[in-house]
Structure 1
Amino acid sequence: MFWLLLLSLTSSCLAYTVQQPQITLLEPQGIRFAYPDDGQVTLVAYHYSINQPLSGVAAGTYNYDVNSATNGYFVHENTNVNVGTGDVVSYWVNVITSTGGYLLTDQNWVASAPTTQPPVTDPPTQPPTTQTPATDPPTQPPATPTPSQTTTTQSTGGGTGTGGDGGTVVVTPSCSAYPCDASTCDMTQPPCNGLIFEENWDEFNLDRWQHELTMSGGGNWEFQIYTNNRSNSYVRDNTLFIKPTLTADHYGESFLSSGTIDMWGGSPADFCTANAWWGCMRTGSASNYLNPVESARIRTVDSFAFKYGRVDVEAKMPTGDWLWPAIWFLPKKNAYGQWPASGEMDLLESRGNTDLRDSQGVSHGNDAMGSTLHWGPYWPFNGYQKTTKEVHGSFGSEFHTYTLDWDENGITFYLDGTQTLHVDPGDQGFWEFGEFDDSAPGSNNPWATSSNKMTPFDQEFYLIINLAVGGTNGYFPDEWNNGNGAKPWNNASPTAMRDFWQAKNTWYPTWQSGVNNGENAALQVKNIKVWAK
């Protein structure tokens, strides 16, 4: 605020007269603006429309900043616009000098024959646009826009002024959240170009990523404790690692059958995040062992959530028996009720086993991954069987790019650019798609008041990354065959954690804790990008 006041006062005392820019057509197509470099100018912003009136400092169809001079001029050339002889170019110019900002507004130029040959330029980057799916959805994900790094950028100019003979500019940018004001923001830079979230793991930003602290097992009676510990979650070489370790290495083996873990915490950073299923405090016994593994689950619930967009994640799955990695999304608010009424989007889940097969011999280990939507009126009614797909590949040995593309018309999953699953519930929405009138007769439709066919997937969702172990919900079926030895627990057993731990000699060697710092058993994530739609 002080800077803007100083700029205004300085500008009124030291007047600068904005000159007319030179405007010419390019051959075979395009337009060129050139403003002379008189030694005082540091930036020239061009705002213009073709055959459309442009009053005052309204945003034009095209808005660009030029922050460096070439051969004595601040030049902007646009070879993507089609301007013909006789077309009217309405424009205004914002010139920034060492003494302030000055305007030339309400200008018109009638196009004449081109006199300048087109240069080789990079077209301005535009934010991703929402495409309406064809009858057969595309098999390739939408192209990722790449922000331009040239000296010509979308405009950060704008404001109010005194008219066509130059005057004071008061810039009031609104460029920190998408969508941005094209008249005041650089539209080639995040978030204005649509890139609303990017994680390259330059550091482990705990303001962005909250650790969940709980023994609850995700409602699946999984075998891990989720901690905030750099042994289990850390960043190195621009990569996130979530690595499992043994609880016995922390507390001693006898502790599993006799100790007490209290996760209630004494400060905000230590508070238990999920008390359900005895998640915040447990005591071990001879039959009811404490969770034998420590791992991590991180989320963006307090820092980032979005509605509609495209997500690209580059990741490698862990290798090791009974490991369960996942990258997924939950609703920030349960707008339609508790799970699964408000939805869940699983970008990917996998199993760490090297040789895990069903009774038909189909592999479901670390050479397989699945993408799934969960939705239904209430548990146990969940229509996920209609919206899930498993594919095969080298997920435990190589990084791959996993993509979710989500808009008001459907949700599509891709693996390395190839479509794996497309979900469109139809015009009647997920209630009819799930046939819940038949499977849950007499149940109320939690989405009945919404006219959006994508409900419950029409709310903000946040990102979760975690590595679980085991569990009794059936993700590891009892009847499947594991090449490294039989599954060491039964999903109906009341002593599943004890049974799992006592078979440690069969599964723990597959985690290769003594090789490569145990990171073969880690879920590894290189980068995450979220583009708005």
Structure 2
Amino acid sequence: MMRYSILSLFLAWLNYYGYQTVMCYKIPQVKLELLENGFRVSIPHEFGIESVIFNIEINQQCPEIFDLITEHKGNLWISEQTANKLKTNDELLINVVTQHDYGLFARTDKVQISSNYEPTYQSVKESDHTIDACNMNTWDDYAPNTDGRSMSRAYFNKHLSKRLYKPNELLFEDNFDKLDTKVWSYDMFMYSNKIGDNSEEFTMFTNDKNNIAVKGGELLITPTLSKRRISDSFDISGCKAPTCYEDRAEMCSYKKQKDSHFMRPAPVDSARITTKDSFSFSYGRIEISARLPEGDWLIPYVMLAPDKMNCSMRKQIRIAYATSKDVKQSRIWGGPVVLTPTVNPSNQKIIFERTSHMNFYPNVPPNKYHNFTLIWTPTQIALYVDKYKYGCISNHHKYEESYHIVFGVSAGGSLEYQDSPYKPWSNGYNNASQIFYDSFKGCCSKGIKDLGDCIDAEPRKKWRKCSRPWGTQSTMAIEYVRVYAV
């Protein structure tokens, strides 16, 4: 079945390219190597490639060579042909299709064997556009199964429901008349630069009413600069270190140490809640009406997280995501993200790398409510904003386990904010969170219109890059969340 479906898409590609633009992957030129009794063609492996098709035509003659490769060897995707010995002036047309996490990509190269028995290359057709396997349906085109069966599975209180759901049947709903602690559990911990993974955000999550509340039928999550930053010691009441950090006491308490002046508590107080103990699901349509936070260096959590966390490869499915730069450009993102740890050989510290399979949409005005919808099936993850479909990611059962809902606001860190001329802190430095904190604390004598606009009156502070204080727009507001069967 897999071979047939990929072959069908390959044949479709021979006639046209798709329309969904993704700039993060492009198939490199095919390499041809001559063997004693044949030849070998290959392309380099990249994280995210699941399979590769080579379709090879020699001297415009039939039959063509078709080879589906499902495993890479030595970081190469290789097709070896030992029954076709090439000779001088032979001409090969090599079509390549990769099944990538970003979608299907294609390339064609023409290769000729020269008089000195060396391959010479001529690129005929290449694309950094995906073949549109998801067909870019409109909202109304996304019809449920007509046979009355649902693909969705729902888990309540960590137990799989035995009920058979129908497509479009409501599985879960919260309109936030109150914050029901039987449904939502608080994440209670703080990121600490003492952890040493050089990827921590600068945030402490608690249940403080200044940071999380329900008012007027809205869930409100507001980040604030922490008043505990100057404390010599404190404990987070009710704290529970997150999965993969259970043995790290510094995620729940802080004590000042004379010989470790850079070990500071998180500079931001905020909140994050989840349904991990009450509700999760596999496959479904989730709709959220929300206003994303707007403020320097903020990170909204409007996403799904797996019930069983894999510490060596952490997955997320983001429903609506926007950094402060994205918000300024009226842009939002959605789709899967994978966090993978590697060890820095120079200092043996863990560094997390983020592989994003998100799509973006450039026309989402900030400080307004929008309907963010994600439709998750065994074959694809489709993304909508205000019922307009802006993206689709092939699934192929990579995301099939049960996921729960996560809402929250965080700030800073290195994973979501790469170094730039306007960013006050430098990623990986021990004093990064302190510089982040200082950038909000009066390093400018007057307000600033944009990042980097400030020159402080005090000469000794002119080197500082400043951040604008957060206002009322930094609050993330959610009106409702609803999950339907598909």
Question: What TM-score bracket applies, with the shorter chain setting the length?
Answer: 0.5 to 0.7
User: In the aligned structure 2, how far is the partner of 1:465 from the partner of 1:390?
Assistant: 20
- Is 1:214 matched with 2:203? no
Q: Which amino acid aligns with 2:414?
A: T
- Is 1:308 matched with 2:278? no
* Structure 1 counterpart of 2:137: 139
The structure-2 alpha-carbon separation of the partners of 1:144 and 1:300, relative to structure 1 and needing over 3 Å to count, comes to farther
The answer (yes or no) to whether the contact 2:334–2:358 under 8 Å persists in 1 is: yes
* Structure 2 counterpart of 1:419: 389
* Structure 2 counterpart of 1:111: none
- Is 1:239 matched with 2:218? yes
* Structure 2 counterpart of 1:224: 203
* Structure 1 counterpart of 2:419: 478
The equivalent position to 1:454 in structure 2, one of 380, 390, 397, is 397
Q: How does 1:56-75 map to 2 (within 5 A)?
A: none
* Structure 1 counterpart of 2:376: 406
What SS is found at the alignment partner of 1:503?
Answer: helix
- Is 1:203 matched with 2:201? no
The equivalent position to 2:478 in structure 1, one of 525, 528, 531, is 525
The CA RMSD measured in Å over matched residues stands at: 3.3
The answer (yes or no) to whether the contact 1:312–1:530 under 8 Å persists in 2 is: yes
User: In the aligned structure 2, how far is the partner of 1:271 from the partner of 1:394?
Assistant: 36
What SS is found at the alignment partner of 1:141?
Answer: coil
Task: Please report how far the alpha carbon of residue 476 of structure 1 lies from its aligned counterpart in structure 2 after TM superposition.
Answer: 1.4
User: In the aligned structure 1, how far is the partner of 2:216 from the partner of 2:375?
Assistant: 28
User: In the aligned structure 2, how far is the partner of 1:491 from the partner of 1:382?
Assistant: 13
- Report the structure, 1 or 2, having the larger strand content: 2
Deviates more, 1:229-238 or 1:343-352: 343-352
TM-score, normalised relative to structure 1: 0.51
The structure-2 alpha-carbon separation of the partners of 1:527 and 1:322, relative to structure 1 and needing over 3 Å to count, comes to same
The answer (yes or no) to whether the contact 1:318–1:366 under 8 Å persists in 2 is: no
Deviations 1:85-109 (A, max 9, x none): xxxxxxxxxxxxxxxxxxxxxxxxx
Q: How does 1:165-180 map to 2 (within 5 A)?
A: 180=163
Q: How does 1:86-165 map to 2 (within 5 A)?
A: 135-141=133-139
* Structure 2 counterpart of 1:68: none
User: In the aligned structure 1, how far is the partner of 2:485 from the partner of 2:364?
Assistant: 30
Q: Which amino acid aligns with 1:324?
A: I
Q: Which amino acid aligns with 2:406?
A: I
Q: Which amino acid aligns with 2:240?
A: C
Is the radius of gyration larger for structure 1 or structure 2?
Answer: 1
- Is 1:374 matched with 2:337? yes
- Is 1:332 matched with 2:303? no
Q: Which amino acid aligns with 2:363?
A: G
* Structure 2 counterpart of 1:345: 317
Q: Which amino acid aligns with 1:237?
A: G
The answer (yes or no) to whether the contact 2:359–2:392 under 8 Å persists in 1 is: no
Task: Please report how far the alpha carbon of residue 231 of structure 1 lies from its aligned counterpart in structure 2 after TM superposition.
Answer: 1.0
- Structure 2 residue runs of 5 or longer lacking an equivalent are 1-131, 144-158, 343-350, 445-465
Q: Which amino acid aligns with 2:375?
A: D
Q: Which amino acid aligns with 2:173?
A: E
Q: Which amino acid aligns with 1:531?
A: Y
The structure-2 alpha-carbon separation of the partners of 1:396 and 1:377, relative to structure 1 and needing over 3 Å to count, comes to closer
Task: Please report how far the alpha carbon of residue 478 of structure 1 lies from its aligned counterpart in structure 2 after TM superposition.
Answer: 1.4
What SS is found at the alignment partner of 1:393?
Answer: coil
TM-score, normalised relative to structure 2: 0.55
The structure-2 alpha-carbon separation of the partners of 1:376 and 1:367, relative to structure 1 and needing over 3 Å to count, comes to closer
* Structure 2 counterpart of 1:114: none
The answer (yes or no) to whether the contact 1:246–1:294 under 8 Å persists in 2 is: yes
User: In the aligned structure 2, how far is the partner of 1:221 from the partner of 1:177?
Assistant: 33
What SS is found at the alignment partner of 1:492?
Answer: coil
* Structure 1 counterpart of 2:355: 384
Task: Please report how far the alpha carbon of residue 225 of structure 1 lies from its aligned counterpart in structure 2 after TM superposition.
Answer: 0.7
- Structure 1 residue runs of 5 or longer lacking an equivalent are 1-133, 146-175, 357-362, 426-452, 513-518
User: In the aligned structure 1, how far is the partner of 2:431 from the partner of 2:352?
Assistant: 27
Aligned residues: 300
Task: Please report how far the alpha carbon of residue 288 of structure 1 lies from its aligned counterpart in structure 2 after TM superposition.
Answer: 3.0
User: In the aligned structure 2, how far is the partner of 1:403 from the partner of 1:366?
Assistant: 21
User: In the aligned structure 2, how far is the partner of 1:424 from the partner of 1:383?
Assistant: 19
The structure-2 alpha-carbon separation of the partners of 1:177 and 1:460, relative to structure 1 and needing over 3 Å to count, comes to closer
What SS is found at the alignment partner of 2:303?
Answer: strand
The structure-2 alpha-carbon separation of the partners of 1:143 and 1:241, relative to structure 1 and needing over 3 Å to count, comes to farther
What SS is found at the alignment partner of 1:497?
Answer: helix
